[in-house]
Amino acid sequence: ELKVEQNPLFLSMQEGKNYTIYCNYSTTSDRLYWYRQDPGKSLESLFVLLSNGAVKQEGRLMASLDTKARLSTLHITAAVHDLSATYFCAGRRTGTASKLTFGTGTRLQVTL
Amino acid sequence: DVKVTQSSRYLVKRTGEKVFLECVQDMDHENMFWYRQDPGLGLRLIYFSYDVKMKEKGDIPEGYSVSREKKERFSLILESASTNQTSMYLCASSLEAGQREKLFFGSGTQLSVL
């Protein structure tokens, strides 16, 4: 059974600072997703990571995947207030088309 | 753009009522999902459908059933609503497109069972 753990659960950071959100998963997952959710809104897809060593970047966010360590990271560079949201990682259970297991989410608050 | 539409944004029901949550997608996706989202628990999969009339149980199917009579529509049914089913319900769809596959989510239905 695939389990996904994120930490921290809550992160308060100042604008301009860097930080990393960690996502560990318990067993083989053939891809790793990152989603963003704004308060009262639905989930928006950020990244899909498919293979060991995969790195994707968009703006101030960079996601990476280490399948050997069963770890994905979401790195935030020079945070801005607009990045305040809850971020979820999710693993796809191998051989079970499309069924994702989500982490509990990291609520990011960027203060001015 | 893909659109996944959930019929109600907020819903208040009484214990024991039969509740229907509707979801429609407009991109001809084969796969559709129902998740519930609770604080501190993230999203948990209730049911999944990979084709019309085909369904699979997710991680927490107890107390729920689903219906998929048409490809674009996936309904979640609470046979007899209970207070522990108060939650945010999210519908999603995806096209099995190999490496490009990702889920598109609806805006959610906040259900309160009193």
pLDDT digits (tens, 9 = 90+) for A81-109: 999 999 999 998 766 666 889 999 999 99
For residue B107, CA distances in Å to A44, A52, B60 come to 10, 32, 21
- CB contact under 8 Å between B42 and A99, yes or no, is no
A39-55 average pLDDT score:
88
Instruction: Tell me which H or E stretch contains A87.
Output: strand A85-93
> Which residues span the domain enclosing B44?
4-93+105-113
- What's the pLDDT at A51? 81
CA distances from B54 to A64, B21, B95 (A): 35, 18, 15
CA B74/CA A66 separation, integer angstroms: 35
Supply the pLDDT for residue A93: 76
| CA–CA separation, A54 and A69 (whole Å) | 13
Residues 6+ apart with CB under 8 A from A73: A20, A21, A22, A23, A63, A64
Q: Is residue B98 part of a domain?
A: no
Q: How large is the C-alpha radius of gyration of chain B?
A: 13
Domain A4-111 fold is Immunoglobulin-like (2.60.40)
The mean pLDDT value for A66-91 works out to 94
Is the residue at B54 inside a domain? yes
> Looking at the domain assignment, is residue B99 inside a domain?
no
Domain count, chain B: 1
Q: What is the mean pLDDT of residues B6-10?
A: 92
Mean pLDDT of chain A: 91
CATH number at residue B89: 2.60.40.10
* Residue B98 confidence (pLDDT): 63
- Residue B2: the pLDDT is 67
Residues of chain A contacting residue B96, judged by C-beta atoms under 8 Å apart: 97-98
Give chain B's contact residues with A (Cβ, < 8 Å). Answer: 31, 33, 35, 40-45, 48, 50, 56, 58-59, 90, 92, 94, 96, 99-108
- Which pLDDT tens digit goes with each residue over B59-105? 999 999 999 999 999 999 999 999 999 999 999 998 765 656 778 99
Most confident of A38-42, A46-50, A75-79, B97-101: A75-79
